[in-house]
Structure 1
């Protein structure tokens, strides 16, 4: 597969340019996706990342082998969807909600078994919504926030148990928002950033942490760069928020939240500013997949990989 930019060339670019302004960690390029996508959900299991959905209506399932740096195709998703949410667990990919038929929020839930390449319907979301976040704690999947049909925010926090194919409700998100980043870290949920009622001109710095033992949320140190539509990943004791957009621009900011210490740090900038993309971790690195380099409905097949232990980049 042709690379968008060789690892050495990209590292050299970062070391000499604005992408290295914050200096910590290093970025490298990887093989471009076999098709361009944006407003996707990305989840990983067993060393592979799965790209689901597309703002422009593509249904083809893109599968990226993280160790081999190679792309393949899975069974197409049952219908066009965008702004959906996905989590990998127990050898399956679970996909929740999203927008269908334009901007209609759906409650439908699906699971995908890579061994059989079959999509199966699961118990629907209690609250139909899109552009929320999903993360797993203790074998149960938390689906948080997002928007209903018409793009109004909904604070729903609903927990799915794959073992019983059932849902329960949990404490709602204190700051309703969509296009937020949701990750699990240290047995807690972290919900970061996002926007109000689908409007990228109203980005938020909100950072709220959910403790499942108490079924309650608490405010934490705000996101330094207000943005929405970012990719995010949990690595070690930190949650990384990468890229994103406003109504005027896409962002290359990479900021990591230390949950135990309740503080943020800035890292080497994303080489290609973009939004509507996803991130997964593999062997201590963060892989960012596809997304739109421009605000709105553009798309790309870009793959860029962050090594938090990489050599410090300087201007």
Structure 2
């Protein structure tokens, strides 16, 4: 006859504390919720937060009869209000762009570079700079980058914008070009140690970080390399590698820590959410995105990270997904 094994009091206490530690460990890895989906399905978008709202711009729309003449390259500018969980639309880009760089600075939004259609190609690298004024909902063109390139990264630091890496139509660019909006002019900084495209960039403290990416638009050539740029010394140096070699990624910064989301490779798309601690030069794996994607836009509002759009499968795939990441604050008893 089978007799159940009795559990001692000490064993019960052990199991209790193990379970408590597992439960309490989860919140520090973060939680995902769903926000209202974007109005249109897109991928390879640019996204940034400005005045508490998130702008999702350009990219590729899901092909249809209405956009076939533009090769589905989007001019759309959709605006998400986290406070109301609602979307609206504003003035479209002057011209469609995909794989463009984006940043906000001094109350304006900037779309820099990217790819446009030219003849029968959709991979024509451009050097245009468009500035958006939320007060007038108008775009105006500013001084172009010295180098045409798409799939680049843009960072802001001390009143200037840094356009980093990308693909110029023939090869990878390691360019670091610096825009000063006060003079509407560009200067040149030290190039990346490893030129690449489809990377993510982020600013923390006095450093700008160039994270991951790929060589020559090929996701079979993903890299885990991370470089840190010192604007004062005008110098790049390598730091701890991204745990997972990825490209087609995006990043956001919360409390001086960088979160790198998504990506693609020949095996598929990534749901990875990996956090970098610049002051410790180490990475930590966080709760993954509910939906694996590449070409997504990421922005941060009120210490919440919004992952918008992107392709659920490698290449030409599209979504309206809006997933929100946050780390719950401990409750005081």
TM-score for the superposition, normalised by structure 1: 0.90
SS at match of 2:43: coil
Distance 1:272 1:265, change over 3 A: same
- Alpha-carbon contact 1:27-1:306 (below 8 Å) kept: yes
Q: What is the CA distance between 1:21 and its match in structure 2? A: 9.1
1:4-35: per-residue Cα shift (whole Å, max 9, x none)?
Answer: xxxxxxxxxxxxxxxx9997110000000011
Aligned match of 1:97: 113
Q: What is the CA distance between 1:310 and its match in structure 2? A: 6.3
* 1:287 counterpart = 2:287: no
Count of aligned residue pairs for this structure pair: 291
Q: What is the CA distance between 1:126 and its match in structure 2? A: 0.4
Aligned match of 1:4: none
- Alpha-carbon contact 1:22-1:267 (below 8 Å) kept: no
Aligned match of 2:157: 137
- Name which of 162, 165, 171 aligns with 2:184: 165
- Name which of 45, 48, 51 aligns with 2:56: 51
1:251-298: per-residue Cα shift (whole Å, max 9, x none)?
Answer: 011101110100000000100000101111111111111111110011
Q: What is the CA distance between 1:118 and its match in structure 2? A: 1.0
Q: What is the CA distance between 1:309 and its match in structure 2? A: 3.1
SS at match of 2:73: coil
| Structure 2 unmatched runs, 5+ | 1-24, 61-71
- Alpha-carbon contact 2:74-2:98 (below 8 Å) kept: no
Aligned match of 2:239: 220
Q: What is the CA distance between 1:90 and its match in structure 2? A: 1.6
* 1:88 counterpart = 2:104: yes
Q: What is the CA distance between 1:51 and its match in structure 2? A: 1.1
- Name which of 199, 215, 238 aligns with 2:218: 199
Aligned match of 2:80: 64
Distance 1:23 1:269, change over 3 A: farther
CA distance, structure 2, for counterparts of residue 125 and residue 68 of structure 1: 37
* 1:301 counterpart = 2:320: yes
- Give 4+ residue runs of structure 1 displaced > 6 Å after superposition: 20-23
Distance 1:22 1:245, change over 3 A: farther
CA distance, structure 2, for counterparts of residue 22 and residue 271 of structure 1: 16
CA distance, structure 1, for counterparts of residue 188 and residue 328 of structure 2: 39
TM-score for the superposition, normalised by structure 2: 0.85
- Alpha-carbon contact 1:25-1:310 (below 8 Å) kept: no
Aligned match of 1:29: 34
CA distance, structure 2, for counterparts of residue 231 and residue 262 of structure 1: 19
Distance 1:22 1:128, change over 3 A: farther
SS at match of 2:99: coil
CA distance, structure 2, for counterparts of residue 168 and residue 212 of structure 1: 12
Q: What is the CA distance between 1:79 and its match in structure 2? A: 1.3
- Name which of 159, 180, 197 aligns with 2:199: 180
- Alpha-carbon contact 2:27-2:327 (below 8 Å) kept: no
Aligned match of 1:248: 267
Distance 1:299 1:308, change over 3 A: same
Aligned match of 1:5: none
Aligned match of 1:261: 280
| Structure 1 unmatched runs, 5+ | 1-19
SS at match of 2:268: coil
Distance 1:255 1:22, change over 3 A: farther
* 1:128 counterpart = 2:144: no
SS at match of 1:103: strand
- Alpha-carbon contact 1:21-1:269 (below 8 Å) kept: no
